[in-house]
């Protein structure tokens, strides 16, 4: 694959992208192929990880061992390091503690001191510091439901949106550095019905058993939800990098599990994009988009077609 020219802003500096995620592994399961594409194009990418994933379950049977459970925080940090190297990104820990996913009826209370219960102002301040230091043009996070209703994902949304606003406010968190206006804010939009319908059809057409048939049978169409997608980034050439980063999170990803139930070439053909919703922008852009940096002023002659 021929390496594209560097993506540079109007000042001749590399474009910068900040992803905000709740746990280690989220950066690999949500938008990782887009990340890998932009890294290949010379974009600087930083992932801010809100928690250490300390209360995450062991989702790979091969890693469900007492020694892993006893050292889960350390192991998940090492997994994040491997995924970071595979994706070619920088990564920072915001330093909060995983809230866990409460289960039961009624749901048990969240543990004291966890991310979802920590003072929002403290959490926002830490992310504001990252934004002002890195100065991204583009930032991504989760929607108001967290992508799915995990308390840490919902809190990640709340922190991200508040920090997007506060980072540009000279009166907010003056100790966190010089104000910086992020030009565009996106929500990750990886799990939507239209995508799974396409993958389901492609599997059946290839004569393979689809892992999505049962799920789709009870998943009612929601046209308003689908309309939220504004931006589809072509990144099929980087799905293999995404898969490698996922496998690096060995406690969370079973290589024989559902993440890899659709063959790579079928996924590349049936749904070659990763999808996002543009929710804030200080620059003019035309929807739909195919680039998170659409509308960002760039160095003359250096923006990719």
Written as tens digits, the pLDDT of the chain (305 aa) is: 556 678 999 999 999 999 999 999 999 999 999 999 999 999 999 999 999 999 988 999 999 999 998 999 999 999 999 999 999 999 999 999 999 999 888 889 999 999 999 999 999 999 999 999 999 999 999 999 999 899 999 999 999 999 999 999 999 999 999 999 999 999 999 889 999 999 999 999 999 999 999 999 999 999 999 999 999 999 999 999 999 999 999 999 999 988 899 999 999 999 999 999 999 999 999 999 999 999 999 885 444 44
The model's pTM? 0.95
- The residues near 108 (Cβ < 8 Å, ≥ 6 apart) are 102
Q: What is the pLDDT of residue 5?
A: 73
Q: What is the pLDDT of residue 2?
A: 59
Domain 16-191+229-263+273-281: which CATH class?
Answer: alpha beta
Q: What is the pLDDT of residue 6?
A: 86
Q: What is the pLDDT of residues 235-290, one digit of tens each?
A: 999 999 999 999 999 999 999 988 899 999 999 999 999 999 999 999 999 999 99
Nearest Cα neighbor of 23 from 182, 163, 146, 187 is 146
Angle at 200 between CA 197 and CA 202, to 5 degrees: 110
Q: What is the pLDDT of residue 303?
A: 43
Neighbours of 72 (CB within 10 A): 19
Does 98 show up as a binding residue in the annotation? Answer: no
Angle between helices 32-40 and 72-87 (to 10 degrees): 40
Q: What is the pLDDT of residue 305?
A: 41
Q: What is the pLDDT of residues 137-151, one digit of tens each?
A: 999 999 999 998 999
Q: What is the pLDDT of residue 302?
A: 45
Does 267 show up as a binding residue in the annotation? Answer: no
Does 153 show up as a binding residue in the annotation? Answer: yes
What is the 3 state secondary structure string of 33-83?
Answer: HHHHHHHHCCCEEEEEEEECCCCCCCCCHHHCCHHHHHCHHHHHHHHHHHH
The domain spans of the chain are 16-191+229-263+273-281, 193-227
Q: Specify whether the CB–CB gap between 140 and 126 falls below 8 A.
A: no
What are 252's two structure tokens?
């969370």
């Amino acid at each position: 694959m021929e390496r594209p020219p560097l993506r540079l802003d109007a000042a001749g500096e590399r474009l910068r992208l900040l992803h905000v995620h709740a746990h280690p592994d989220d950066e690999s399961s949500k938008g990782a192929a887009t990340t890998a594409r932009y890294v290949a194009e010379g974009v600087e990418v930083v992932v801010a990880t809100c928690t250490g994933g300390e209360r995450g379950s062991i989702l790979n049977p091969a890693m469900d061992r007492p020694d892993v459970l006893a050292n889960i925080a350390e192991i998940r940090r090492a997994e994040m390091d491997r995924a970071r190297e595979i994706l070619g990104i920088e990564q920072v820990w915001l330093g909060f503690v995983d809230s866990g996913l409460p289960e039961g009826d009624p749901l048990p209370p969240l543990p004291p001191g966890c991310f979802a219960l920590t003072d929002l102002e403290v959490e926002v301040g830490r992310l504001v510091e990252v934004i002002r230091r890195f100065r991204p043009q583009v930032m991504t996070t989760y929607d108001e439901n967290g992508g799915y209703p995990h308390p840490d994902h919902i809190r990640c949304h709340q922190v991200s949106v508040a920090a997007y606003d506060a980072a540009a406010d000279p009166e907010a968190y003056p100790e966190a550095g010089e104000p910086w206006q992020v030009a565009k804010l996106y929500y990750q939009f990886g799990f939507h019905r239209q995508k799974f319908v396409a993958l389901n059809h492609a599997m059946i057409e290839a004569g393979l058993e689809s892992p999505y048939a049962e799920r789709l049978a009870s998943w009612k169409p929601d046209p308003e939800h689908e309309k939220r997608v504004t931006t589809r980034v072509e990144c099929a050439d980087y799905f293999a990098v995404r898969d490698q980063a996922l496998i690096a999170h060995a406690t969370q990803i079973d290589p024989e599990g559902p993440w890899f139930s659709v063959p790579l070439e079928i996924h590349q053909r049936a749904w070659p994009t990763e999808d996002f919703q543009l929710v804030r922008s200080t620059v003019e852009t035309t929807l739909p988009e195919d680039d998170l940096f659409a509308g960002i002023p760039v160095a003359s002659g250096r923006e990719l077609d």
